Amino acid sequence: MADAGVTGRYAPSPTGDLHLGNLRTAAVAWAAARSAGGRFLVRVEDVDTGRCREAFVERQLADLAAVGLDWDGPVLRQSTRGERYAAALGRLPTYPCWCSRREIREAASAPHGAPGAYPGTCRRMDPGELARRAAARRAAGLGPAIRLAAEVGSWTVHDLLAGEYRGEVDDMVLRRADGDWAYHLAVVVDDAEQGVTQVVRGADLLASAPRQAHLATLLGHRPPEYLHVPLVLGPTGARLAKRDGAVTLRELDPARARAWIMSSLGFPGAPVERLPELFHPALLPADSPTLGA
């Protein structure tokens, strides 16, 4: 098969307005794909029905355009993709998990096992006890979450900035008890079916990459290459947040946002349109820029 070249994407969740840190990461994702002569996609990650708001979808797209980004093809909405996620789920080794939030918290902080990892409680439970637990939860109107029956404990990915990164793979949730599709499954299925070869996103998601690369491999897909972009810090030195004020295009002139993005990437005074020609992953500042210090 001919090499189809690079396909990058930016995949925001419509849970709020994009702030300068998000817009900077989006600009890097766009420039990384365009500088390689590749396609660039935008995907709306609206699987979490409790947290996503329709009003933010158009605002996020308008803000990406306002900082000078363009994208190819229609914007894919994860909320339309349930059948594809269900098909993928059917190809993976899974089991139902009836644990409550509290049980998961307690299990994940038990002294043995990787910190934060689900230790497979329902997978290992005595069948009689599991059936009793399931009946009690069903009687309370609750359904099970569906988890991956993971066969490995960790997985290594290659990140263009972090290098080889080894991280945990646990029995991750693929479908939530409330019926919503889980983020890891949706991302992996969409990236594969959209032909995404390059995932550029915030450094807060580096720890998710091994789980997702492993899931992709289980589904028979080649994992993408990764570039996790250091997060922008706010005036207090903590990760930039909307409460820092004047960080979204509701309060900021897009021209000033564009100028800040370019100077934070080491190209002060250059227009965003030139970023694809100037950008190279090796030139990405490895340190987090600080806003308004």
Minimum CB distance to ligand GLU, residue 11 (Å)? 4
Residues 6+ apart with CB under 8 A from 204: 231, 239
Binding of ligand GLU by 223 (CB under 6 A): no
Q: Is 242 a catalytic residue?
A: yes
Select from 150, 173, 187, 291 the one that contacts ligand GLU (CB under 6 A).
187
Q: Where are the alpha helices (DSSP H) in 75-218?
A: 82-89, 101-108, 121-124, 127-139, 183-193, 209-218
Please tell me which residue in 242, 252, 270, 288 is annotated as part of the active site.
Answer: 242
Q: State which amino acid sits at residue 281.
A: P
Binding of ligand GLU by 160 (CB under 6 A): no
Binding of ligand GLU by 45 (CB under 6 A): yes
**Complex with ligand GLU: residue 97 or 215, whichever CB lies closer:** 215
Binding of ligand GLU by 161 (CB under 6 A): no
Q: What six digits make up the tokens of 109?
A: 């902080």
Nearest-angstrom CA–CA distance, 201 and 23: 11
Nearest-angstrom CA–CA distance, 283 and 288: 14
**Complex with ligand GLU: residue 125 or 187, whichever CB lies closer:** 187
239 is in an annotated binding site: no
Binding of ligand GLU by 146 (CB under 6 A): no
Nearest-angstrom CA–CA distance, 221 and 217: 5
Binding of ligand GLU by 12 (CB under 6 A): yes
201 is in an annotated binding site: yes
Select from 6, 11, 172, 177 the one that contacts ligand GLU (CB under 6 A).
11
Strand pairing category for 163-168 and 154-159? antiparallel
Minimum CB distance to ligand GLU, residue 51 (Å)? 10
165 is in an annotated binding site: no
Which strands make up the sheet holding 145-148, listed edge to edge? 94-97, 145-148, 173-175
Binding of ligand GLU by 172 (CB under 6 A): no
Tally: H helices and E strands in the chain: 10, 10
The binding site comprises 9-13, 45, 97, 99, 118, 122, 183, 201, 242
Q: Which residues are catalytic?
A: 242
Residues of this chain that bind ligand GLU (CB under 6 A):
11-13, 45, 187, 201, 205
